[in-house]
Chain A
Amino acid sequence: MSTPIEATAILQRRRSSVEDTRSSGLSPEPRELSYAQAIQEAMAIAMERDERVFLMGEDIGVYGGAFQVTGDLVHRFGADRVMDTPISELGSAGVAIGAALTGLRPIFEFQFSDFSALAMEQIVNQAAKLRFMLGGAVSVPLVMRFPSGSGTGAAAQHSQSLEAWFAHVPGLKVVQPATPHDAKGCLLAAIADPDPVMIFEHKLLYKMKGEVPEGHYTVPLGKARLCRPGRDVTIVATSIMVHRSLAAAEELSREGIEAEVIDLRSLRPLDRDTLTQSVKRTHRLVCVYEGVKTLGIGAELSASIAESDAFDYLDAPILRLGGAECPIPYNPELEKAAVPQTPTIIAAVRDLIGGRL
């Protein structure tokens, strides 16, 4: 924990960096932050720039959040702007919606994405539909953050990847940043957005480090990112699966298979263009995601290709690699087997290219 003096110094540095970018639009030298730090920095910048922004969630104050994402923000911004809620997901989600409706900009942290199930009513029936139902008379500028995914041994009720549920609801925007850079940029974009934005953060990414520009910048919501060009196959992935796909692509490259890797970044809006363009180049598609395979993201991506002119370019069946058809088990070996891992992706691409499917 930083001392108050250090915290003030950081605060001053950040203030000046915010001003720097405002005036020059350039970020100074590159520096590395963890994914969690990047999110924290985005929230701090947003709160400094805009007094309407405040944070709500369980144990986000002195505890610093279950994953230490809010960290020491309560000491910088006070308990009024870094608000601990009781354990009342449905009620507090509704409170955030009410605040968003009437001029504030809440950022709501679910302690685990799984607990969003308790708040579904407010998110799905209220936040997503209010603007539409009222004929555009209101908007709900609400950001919700969902620590999600498996790999921590937290078992069935603390490990799910539920992003597809939310992406099925018009009125919500759903993003899944995969890097510290995007985590900060997407969050700042979400705060600026007039509509409810759900951000799914994989718990295993929180400690991952990466280059993060200082100051304020945004990553457009609804735009995929081409992370690695390749001619033989397109691997489209989300969240942590982007990193597993990139690792698989490196390995495959040694065997002469060049995979193009796309980080989807956003489920709603969905960037079908980037995907179809890529498939037209590579003629093969593999979709990799952690949510349960059946009726998930991969189905939508496959259908996008099937319905587009990229369909005629396909040289092989489209392949989906997703979560197994079961809840996430506790035992570590079973847990690993329940979601795609780098070797699974390598083997699947090999088979696809070798025509063994």
Chain B
Amino acid sequence: MGLEDVTLREKSVASGVRQLGRARPQNPSRDAVSMPSVYRRLSAESLRQALRKMHLIRRFEESAEDAYMRGLVHGTMHLSIGQEASAVGICATLEPTDYMTSTHRGHGHSIAKGAQVARMFAEFFGKEDGYCRGRGGSMHIADVSTGNLGANGIVGGGLPIAVGVALSMKKQRRSCVVVSFFGDGANNEGAFHEALNMASIWKLPVVFVCENNGYGMSTSTERSTAVKDVAERACAYSMPGIVVDGNDFAAVAQAAFDAVERARRGDGPSLIESKTYRIRGHSRSDRNRYRTKEEIEAWLARDPIVAFERELARLGFVSKSGIEAIRTDVECEIAEAIAFAKASPAPSVEELTRYVYSD
């Protein structure tokens, strides 16, 4: 995927897909005008929290990668470095009681929804204090206490489940919304199409969030997907579809607010396509044969954390020292989390077949 794909057009495309992102008109002379309106809907404190979470995700991913290199982590892992604005921008609009289903690339989603990094590291190290008691690992992290129903090892696996959760909320007259994250690769699975259709016919409170990072493993969206924007698929299921710049926190949060409100009002599901990029390889086995160094570098220059930090500083939401404090604080939290995870006990082999059925 080239950069031009996210140079988002202002006018609506023929399919009726709305676009939100950097190309929106900005008035550089007056900050009040160029401030994304969504910032008014979030408190200054929650904007700073969002920045902190983006840093926490980045440092979590880097530390997980480092732990992997040092042989502390078994198996493989899928890092979301570069996609932080997408995870945090969506989750910043949710209540702790709202639900979320995630993907194999789910560390960022978990943290954004409120998971503790200490228990996440413990899971990576296969320990009893991990979110899955060491049984699930990176690909199955869930934190039910924050409405996080889990990552998924199966591409598209979470989509129909999210629809079921939304059905359950509607039947129980609970006002919770369900966010279902999935990748561009998942949009070609039957489960995606079946899920969107059912969410639409039953007007369920689901926000489908496609994190389009340009590739499903080595296969670009151009090679795998018949439409240019995954958001175009929304019109086949009579729901709003919107494309946002996934590296722009404000654009993501704005779209999420609209979709979450619509869902909570009982007006049904939406599809948000968040165009972003995964900086690291697909997983540990990736040799990066399908993309160029130039492409990766171009995206590195559009780092979502750097952009968000600059914008918050420009608008006076955070000071230089405030940013420093966030970084130090995050460093500290990561170090403590790793120490906690290392010290956690391993599960007992005697309990191999526990948790298969309810006791």
A and B pair up: yes
Residues of A within 8 A of B (CB): 58-59, 61-64, 66, 84, 86-91, 114-115, 118, 152-158, 324-327, 329-335, 337-338
Residues of B within 8 A of A324 (CB): 352-353
Q: In whole angstroms, what is the CA distance A149 to B238 when docked?
A: 42
Q: Which A-B residue pairs are the 7 nearest by beta carbons?
A: A153-B75, A157-B153, A330-B137, A153-B74, A331-B126, A63-B218, A86-B188
Q: In whole angstroms, what is the CA distance A334 to B126 when docked?
A: 9
Partner of A332, one of B74, B76, B157, B223: B74
From 181 to 211 in chain B, residues with beta carbon under 8 angstroms from any chain A beta carbon are: 185-186, 188-191
Q: In whole angstroms, what is the CA distance A58 to B140 when docked?
A: 22
Q: A86-B188, A153-B76, A334-B347 are in contact. Are A59 and B219 (CB under 8 A)?
A: yes
**Any A CB within 8 A of the CB of B225:** yes
Return the CB mask of B125-138 against A: 1 if under 8 Å, else 0: 01100001011110
Evaluate contact between B154 and A329: CB separation under 8 angstroms: no
Residues of A within 8 A of B219 (CB): 58-59, 84, 86-87
Number of interface residues of B (CB under 8 A): 43
Q: Which of A91, A155, A157, A337 has the most B CB atoms < 10 Å from its CB? A: A155
Residues of B within 8 A of A90 (CB): 190
Q: A329-B135, A330-B132 are in contact. Are A87 and B155 (CB under 8 A)?
A: yes
Partner of A59, one of B74, B137, B218: B218
Partner of B153, one of A152, A158, A329: A158
Evaluate contact between B289 and A87: CB separation under 8 angstroms: no
Q: In whole angstroms, what is the CA distance A156 to B137 when docked?
A: 9
Residues of A within 8 A of B356 (CB): 325-327
**Any A CB within 8 A of the CB of B156:** yes
Q: In whole angstroms, what is the CA distance A293 to B159 when docked?
A: 32
From 277 to 304 in chain B, residues with beta carbon under 8 angstroms from any chain A beta carbon are: 285-287, 289-290
Partner of A118, one of B140, B154, B216: B154
Evaluate contact between A155 and B290: CB separation under 8 angstroms: no
Q: In whole angstroms, what is the CA distance A61 to B139 when docked?
A: 25
Residues of B within 8 A of A61 (CB): 218
Q: In whole angstroms, what is the CA distance A84 to B347 when docked?
A: 40
Q: Which of B74, B289, B347 has the most A CB atoms < 10 Å from its CB? A: B74
Q: In the assembled complex, how far is the CB of residue A98 from the closest CB belonging to chain B, in whole angstroms?
A: 16
Could you list 5 A-B pairs, sorted by A, with CB under 8 Å?
A: A87-B216, A329-B347, A330-B140, A331-B346, A334-B347
Residues of B within 8 A of A115 (CB): 154
Residues of B within 8 A of A64 (CB): 287, 289
Q: A64-B289, A153-B75, A324-B353 are in contact. Are A334 and B135 (CB under 8 A)?
A: yes
From 209 to 261 in chain B, residues with beta carbon under 8 angstroms from any chain A beta carbon are: 216-219, 223-225
Residues of B within 8 A of A155 (CB): 75, 135-137, 139-140, 153
Residues of A within 8 A of B76 (CB): 152-154
**Any A CB within 8 A of the CB of B13:** no
Partner of B346, one of A59, A84, A333, A338: A333
**Any A CB within 8 A of the CB of B349:** yes
Q: In the assembled complex, how far is the CB of residue A155 from the closest CB belonging to chain B, in whole angstroms?
A: 5
CB nearest to B286 among chain A residues: A63
Residues of A within 8 A of B139 (CB): 154-155, 157-158
Residues of B within 8 A of A (CB): 74-76, 123, 126-127, 132, 134-137, 139-140, 152-157, 185-186, 188-191, 216-219, 223-225, 285-287, 289-290, 346-347, 349, 352-353, 356
Evaluate contact between A153 and B137: CB separation under 8 angstroms: yes
Q: In whole angstroms, what is the CA distance A154 to B223 when docked?
A: 27
Partner of B136, one of A58, A156, A332, A337: A156
Residues of A within 8 A of B190 (CB): 88, 90-91, 118
Residues of A within 8 A of B287 (CB): 63-64
Q: In whole angstroms, what is the CA distance A316 to B195 when docked?
A: 54
Chain B binding surface SS class: loop
Residues of A within 8 A of B349 (CB): 333-334, 337
Evaluate contact between A325 and B353: CB separation under 8 angstroms: yes
CB nearest to A72 among chain B residues: B289
Evaluate contact between B189 and A84: CB separation under 8 angstroms: no
Q: In whole angstroms, what is the CA distance A333 to B352 when docked?
A: 10
Residues of B within 8 A of A330 (CB): 74-75, 123, 126, 132, 134-137, 140
Residues of B within 8 A of A325 (CB): 353, 356
Residues of A within 8 A of B137 (CB): 153, 155, 330-331
Apart from A59-B217, A334-B135, what are 15 other A-B pairs with CB-CB below 8 Å? A59-B219, A63-B287, A66-B285, A87-B185, A91-B188, A114-B153, A155-B140, A156-B140, A326-B352, A327-B356, A330-B134, A331-B74, A331-B134, A331-B346, A334-B352
Q: In whole angstroms, what is the CA distance A114 to B223 when docked?
A: 24
Q: In whole angstroms, what is the CA distance A24 to B44 when docked?
A: 81
Residues of A within 8 A of B217 (CB): 58-59, 63, 66
Residues of A within 8 A of B152 (CB): 157
Q: In whole angstroms, what is the CA distance A198 to B134 when docked?
A: 33
Q: In whole angstroms, what is the CA distance A86 to B152 when docked?
A: 18
Q: In whole angstroms, what is the CA distance A142 to B136 when docked?
A: 34
Q: In whole angstroms, what is the CA distance A231 to B114 when docked?
A: 62
Q: In whole angstroms, what is the CA distance A145 to B216 when docked?
A: 21
Q: In whole angstroms, what is the CA distance A114 to B153 when docked?
A: 10
Q: In whole angstroms, what is the CA distance A177 to B286 when docked?
A: 27
Residues of B within 8 A of A156 (CB): 135-136, 140, 153
Residues of A within 8 A of B225 (CB): 86
Q: In whole angstroms, what is the CA distance A146 to B262 when docked?
A: 43
Evaluate contact between A87 and B352: CB separation under 8 angstroms: no
Q: A155-B140, A327-B356 are in contact. Are A86 and B74 (CB under 8 A)?
A: no
Residues of A within 8 A of B186 (CB): 87
Q: Which of B75, B224, B225, B285 has the most A CB atoms < 10 Å from its CB? A: B75
Q: In whole angstroms, what is the CA distance A338 to B225 when docked?
A: 39
Q: In the assembled complex, how far is the CB of residue A296 from the closest CB belonging to chain B, in whole angstroms?
A: 16
